[in-house]
Structure 1
């Protein structure tokens, strides 16, 4: 039976944006992230993180650095009794032409194939239009764009909902 999933971008949705974040000491959670994820779980959603990580291809940090931070991140959720089903990332640069870097749908399609996800019942919460484009290209129409500190051009966005933070997502995602 297909599952319903909340796909979360990492930087700007789960944590405050820091250019090429790869150090635990620089990681700061967005207020309300844990409460939002608890509400998603209560509604029967699985949670998957999908994140562009071009800092790997650019040589700013290694795949190992990324994995260390990701394991720590997932452990922080576990401590709050929140299971993250998976964390999928694209390590490529924007010029690599891969199918996984958002706005391409590769990470979403990989997750759909691996976990039998019902994309029509799933959601994407991102902070950039490329997050929304990737979700739509993979068959997800339920999309939220959070500003989390930066300006959003609502007129040219394809997102269905606009929020200032993930903290407000329970006003939109009801079941």
Structure 2
């Protein structure tokens, strides 16, 4: 077995990177509905600067349900990556499950397949990697992939630790790495 060399942070999108179910936006179906949460670009840049690969793993059942096309989703993700890059934050890759929630596909979180595929593709060391989500399926997917799973916004006993937002979680990761 080859030695895994890269460390990574896997981020859920809605509720971790951008607003969802707020006064301004219910769901993100167009680029102009994507509002980055406060501190997100800075937090991702801190991870980049510390040598982490940053991935987005997101369930986007709106495609499977017909609320948007896969091309429209790609445009939203390109817009998000550009907005983050304006502030020096880089996303290594964005992976989305576009199946409808009821399709019981293998890639939709809480299944860990998106994370496992990225671990394989990028030679990721799971012992030095984290999943950050805002819902139980995110935490379950990270746990199933064998990585520390951190919850933001809400709390759950399934999570390794819980934080108020991405910035707080990233600061903890950078301290945890030194331990």
TM-score by structure 1 length? 0.91
Q: Which runs of 5+ in 2 are unaligned?
A: none
Partner SS, residue 87 of structure 1? strand
Residue 169 of structure 1 is matched in structure 2 by 169
Q: Aligned-pair distance for 1:4? A: 0.5
1:160 aligns with 2:160: yes
1:1-175 aligned within 5 A:
2-18=5-21, 19-140=26-147, 142-147=148-153, 152-154=154-156, 157-174=157-174, 175=177
Q: Deviations over 1:9-49 (max 9, x none)?
A: 00000001144412121111110101111111122111000
C-alpha distance in 2, partners of 1:65/1:162? 32
The structure with the largest helix share of the pair is 2
Count of aligned residue pairs for this structure pair:
168
Partner SS, residue 21 of structure 1? coil
Does structure 1 retain, via aligned residues, the 8 Å contact 2:15–2:134? yes
TM-score by structure 2 length? 0.89
C-alpha distance in 2, partners of 1:56/1:170? 30
Partner SS, residue 67 of structure 1? helix
